[in-house]
Amino acid sequence: MSRQPKASKDFFVYGWYESGNSLPFYIGKGSGKRSTAVHYSPRGGHKEACQLYRECCKGFHVKIFKRGLTESDAYLVETVLIKTLGQLGGCSCNTQSL
């Protein structure tokens, strides 16, 4: 009987904030240094616009919401946070369809 590879639990979900704002302007998932990495996309789009906003905002900081997730669990948490916080006026840089 072959064993299935173990799902890596190296993923996390993070938010990008501007100082003085209690809601994040971006929610993402990743591993390693993703939460602080540059988010340019070869095709432009929302990731590039978000990166430009990050560079122009005052008092940029990152908050990690949850660590120790599989990639699929991180995607689920990311999706729920975008939908929930988006309804409250946050996540202006997230344009994925939910």
- Domain total of the chain: 1
Does residue 48 lie within any of the structural domains?
Answer: yes
Does residue 59 lie within any of the structural domains?
Answer: yes
Does residue 97 lie within any of the structural domains?
Answer: no
The band of 98, judged by pLDDT with boundaries at 50, 70 and 90, is very low
* Structural domain of 19: 14-87
Q: What is the mean pLDDT of the chain?
A: 82
Does residue 83 lie within any of the structural domains?
Answer: yes
Query: pTM for the whole thing?
Result: 0.78
Does residue 43 lie within any of the structural domains?
Answer: yes
Instruction: Give pLDDT tens digits for 24-68.
Output: 988 999 999 888 776 655 555 566 667 777 777 778 889 999 999
Does residue 94 lie within any of the structural domains?
Answer: no
pLDDT for residue 43: 57
For 67, the enclosing helix (H) or strand (E) is: strand 61-69
Does residue 54 lie within any of the structural domains?
Answer: yes
Do residues 6 and 71 lie in contact, with contact meaning Cβ atoms separated by under 8 Å? Answer: no
Identify the burial level of 9 via C-beta atoms within 10 angstroms of its C-beta, where 0-12 means exposed, 13-18 middle and 19 or more buried. middle
Does residue 7 lie within any of the structural domains?
Answer: no
C-alpha 45/C-alpha 12 separation (Å) is 23
Least confident of 1-15, 39-53, 81-95: 39-53
C-alpha 32/C-alpha 49 separation (Å) is 22
Q: Is pLDDT at 6 greater than 60 in this prediction?
A: no
Half-sphere exposure in the Cβ direction for 50 (13 Å, CA): 25
